Amino acid sequence: MFIKVLQLVIITSNKVKQTAKILIILTIILNQSCVNNDCENEPYFTPPSPLNFELVNKSTNENLFTNGTYESNKIEILNIADNSSIEYSFINEDDINIIQIGSIGWKSEIVEGSVKINGSEIFTFYVDAKRLSENCISYTKYDEIRIENKEYELDHQSGVYKILVDVKRYECIVGKVDSIVSSDQILGKWKITGARNPWFVNRFYDYSNENIIYNFLSNGILIVTGNENHKGAYANGEYNYVFKYGYFSDYHSPNEPKIWYLTIDDGLEWTYKSQDTLMQIGQSYTDMNDYCLKRED
């Protein structure tokens, strides 16, 4: 009798162990099924972190968009591999003025890009992005981000790459200037190539990629073309001008010399000097800009 009871206990024990094993296997399968269903029905997608760039004057640390050196509508970002455009945003809220690229890293890819302003390359960058999935979460890992052709600083807290641009002081005419013998010297078509404001260190404006033309006619009419965005002092249109030799100020001193200067339409007076095919007209004496023009005809 005792032996039969013992055999029954052993058989029952074995069945319990087998049942426990089966339950464990079923639990694993069910849990895995739930996880898989969660991934299929509610995928957790994490977008890639955008790349943020701030362009600053290397010497003064001024933001070059804030101080007017660059204009955001002149930004162009190209994929070096095929010269296609790379989408970007310009963030100007609270005068932050940074370039943000959020179009890279949505898939595994290597991108080499060129950032240009006014057609001139400012810097290039290299990005190696990997799109990964783990625990039902899809995310982007940047294996490498590299800035080339420019010095930079990375703010690890904000994630902003500060591009250090060496802005050279702009000078239009250096050295000996021409002697002016006739008012006809100003006649013809002149293209604005740049402007500077000597009251602000290292502040200049490069218009060499624009096509702003000042055409001084012999009948005293100035025709301005190519200036739809109202750069370079005067917008497109016709203006009266006088180029004359005399006293620059209305209340001149006895020792003040006579000079050649320009008056345009609104009565504002512009200083003048020339050198070969260059001409500089300016209002820096009133804290305004001096403009450099190059003869086109």
pLDDT in tens, 21-63: 443 443 444 344 444 445 665 558 899 999 999 999 888 899 9
Structure tokens, 60: 């003064």
Q: Is the dihedral of CA 241, 242, 248, 251 positive or negative?
A: negative
Asked if the model's pLDDT at residue 216 lies above 50, the reply is: yes
Mean pLDDT, the chain, whole residue set: 83
| Closest CA relative to residue 241, chosen from 183, 293, 155 | 183
What is the H or E stretch that residue 20 is in? helix 2-41
For the chain, what's the residue count? 297
Sheet of strand 151-155, all strands in order from the earlier edge strand to the far edge: 89-91, 98-101, 51-57, 160-165, 151-155
For the chain, helix, strand, coil in percent to 5 are: 20, 40, 40
Q: How far apart are the first and last CA of the chain?
A: 125
3-state secondary structure 256-270: CCCEEEEEECCCEEE
Q: Is the pTM of this model over 0.85?
A: no
What's the rounded Cα separation, in Å, for the pair 276 and 204? 22
Position 171 scores a pLDDT of 67
The three-state (H, E, C) secondary structure of 191-216, written as one string: EEEEEECCCCCCCEEECCCCCCEEEE
SS3 at position 285: helix
The rounded distance, in Å, linking the Cα atoms of 290 and 271 is: 9
Least confident span in 90-94, 204-208, 226-230: 204-208
Q: For residues 171 and 31, which has the higher predicted lDDT (pLDDT)?
A: 171
Q: What mean pLDDT comes out for the span 10-17? A: 42
pLDDT at 108 > cutoff 90: yes
Q: Which of 60-69, 81-90, 162-171, 239-248 has the highest mean pLDDT?
A: 81-90
Please state the rounded mean pLDDT for residues 188-194.
93
pLDDT for the residue 267 = 77
